[in-house]
Amino acid sequence: MFWIQAFVKIALIVGVLVNMAAILLWVERKQSAMMQDRIGPNRAAIEVGGVRIRAAGLVHSIADGIKMIWKEDWEPVGGDRLLYRLAPIIALVPPLCLFAVIPFAPTLHVDHLRDLYDPAWAADPNDHSIPMRITTLDVGLLYIFAVAGAGVIGAALAGWSSNNKFSLLGGLRAASQMVSYEVAMGLSLVGSFMIYQSVQPADMITWQMQHCWGIFVQPLAFVLFATAAIAETKRVPFDVPEGESEVVAGYFTEYAGLKFGMFASGELVEVCTSSALLTVVFLGGWQFPFVQNSGFEFHYLGLDISWHWAHFIVVLVGLLSFVLKVAGLIFLQLQIRWTLPRFRYDQIMMLGWRILLPAALLNVLLTGMGILFYNGLSTTGGGTP
Parallel, antiparallel, or unpaired: how do β-strands 305-308 and 129-130 relate? Answer: unpaired
pLDDT along the chain (385 residues), means of 10: 76 88 90 88 82 83 87 85 92 89 86 50 57 87 88 90 91 92 94 94 93 94 95 90 82 90 91 95 92 80 78 88 95 90 91 96 95 82 50
Distance CA(88)–CA(61), nearest Å, equals 20
- pLDDT tens digits, 55-106: 888 888 888 888 888 888 888 888 888 999 999 999 899 988 988 899 999 8
Residue 22, φ and ψ in degrees, nearest 5: -70, -40
Cis peptide before 76 (omega within 30 of 0): no
The answer to whether residue 325 sits within a structural domain is: yes
The answer to whether residue 15 sits within a structural domain is: no
The answer to whether residue 134 sits within a structural domain is: yes
The answer to whether residue 14 sits within a structural domain is: no
- pLDDT tens digits, 5-51: 778 888 888 888 888 888 999 999 888 898 888 888 888 888 787 78
- For residue 213, how many other CB atoms are within 10 A of its CB? 20
pLDDT at 293: 75
The answer to whether residue 10 sits within a structural domain is: no
* Residue 259 CB burial class (10 angstroms; 0-12, 13-18, ≥19): buried
The answer to whether residue 20 sits within a structural domain is: no
Q: Are 124 and 132 in contact (CB under 8 A)?
A: no
Collect all residues with Cβ–Cβ distance below 8 Å to 194 and sequence separation of at least 6.
364, 367, 368, 371
Collect all residues with Cβ–Cβ distance below 8 Å to 190 and sequence separation of at least 6.
360, 363, 364, 367
pLDDT at 245: 79
The answer to whether residue 321 sits within a structural domain is: yes
Residue range(s) defining the domain that contains residue 190: 72-380
- pLDDT tens digits, 57-71: 888 888 888 888 888
Domain count, the chain: 1
Q: Are 98 and 70 in contact (CB under 8 A)?
A: no
Q: Are 171 and 178 in contact (CB under 8 A)?
A: no
H helices present in the chain, as ranges: 2-35, 59-70, 81-97, 114-117, 119-122, 142-148, 150-161, 165-188, 190-196, 201-210, 214-217, 219-232, 244-247, 257-282, 311-337, 345-350, 357-380
Distance CA(242)–CA(24), nearest Å, equals 19
Residue 319 is classified by DSSP as H
The answer to whether residue 251 sits within a structural domain is: yes
Say what the pTM is.
0.89
Q: Are 233 and 267 in contact (CB under 8 A)?
A: yes
